[in-house]
Amino acid sequence: MRLANLRPGQNRLAEWQARSVNNNDNVELVWSNANCEVHRFVVGPVQNNVYVVRCTHSGTAVLIDAANEHERLLRVAQSLGVDFVVETHGHWDHIGAVEQVREAGMSVWVRKEDAAMLPSYDQLLEDDTVLEVGSLRLRTLHTPGHTPGSISFALESTPLLFTGDTLFPGGPGNATFEGGDFATIIRSIDERIFSPFAPETIIWPGHGASSTLGSERPHLEEWIERGW
């Protein structure tokens, strides 16, 4: 196809797609559709997942968990157009690059219950509100239990749910740390995640592999019985 045949919108898209990340940073494009891309890379001593959700029309992106390895994290964030960062919770392994992303001009958002666990932050995340990322809409779901301020994020018009350390393949996150509570994490998972979302919803946790609600939901009673 000759370039002259491309509509302006397609030109713009091609331009954004050309702005890709450096492969040496081991960033994986794990999901995409016509409007968005989800990139994932793994950082730090306990293998934290960092996600970048990017609007392909505007080139704007949000980063989920400024966890660690700030030099690599900043390089990836800047090459993908990240302009703000949301924190799934305040545990040390999820916040190691918070200061450096703030120094680089990105604002950091966190729930009020976990805010004091961060060295600093910019904004507090409300429950059940929409954060706009270009044309994308990221909805907040306060899901306490792993920590009091744990929060998950649903990307509207997609089957994607970012669960932090609240829900993993095989069960809930650890609820035995300070501020954690097993009954609370189970209630969060049941009422805020399993009940409202469809079985084909894909969960993207703070560590390890993704899963679907369809494969996790049948095990809820098992998890309650075993107590973890």
* Residue 208: strand, helix, or coil: coil
Which residue number, 72 or 91, has a Cβ lying nearer to Zn ion? 91
Considering beta carbons, is residue 69 or 165 the nearer one to Zn ion? 165
Widest Cα–Cα separation across the chain: 64
Buried b or exposed e, range 20-44, using 16+ CB within 10 angstroms: ebeeeeebeebbeeebbbbbbbbbb
CB of 200 to Zn ion, least distance (A): 26
Residue with the CB atom nearest Zn ion in the bound state: 91
At position 107, the amino acid (one-letter code) is S
Using CB under 5 A, which of the segments 32-40, 73-81, 87-95, 115-123 binds Zn ion?
Answer: 87-95
Cα 91 to the center of its chain, rounded Å: 15
Shortest Å, Cβ 87 to Zn ion: 11
Site for Zn ion contains 37 (CB under 5 A): no
- Pick the closer one to Zn ion by CB: 177 or 218: 177
Smaller CB distance to Zn ion: residue 21 or 63? 63
Q: Which is nearer to Zn ion, 81 or 180 (CB)?
A: 180
CA 41 to chain centre: 11
Cα–Cα distance measured from residue 63 to residue 189, given in angstroms and rounded to the nearest whole number = 23
Vertex 112, ends 125 and 169: CA angle to 5°? Answer: 70
Q: How far apart are CA 206 and CA 57, in angstroms?
A: 27
Q: Which amino acid is at 85?
A: V
Decide if residue 113 touches Zn ion (CB under 5 A).
no
Please choose, out of 25-33, 48-56, 91-99, 111-119, the segment that lies near Zn ion by the rule CB under 5 A. 91-99
Residue 91 in contact with Zn ion, rule: CB under 5 A: yes
Interaction with Zn ion in 146-185: which residues (CB under 5 A)? 165
For residue 49, the minimal CB distance to Zn ion (Å) is: 12
Q: Which residues bind Zn ion (CB under 5 A)?
A: 91, 165
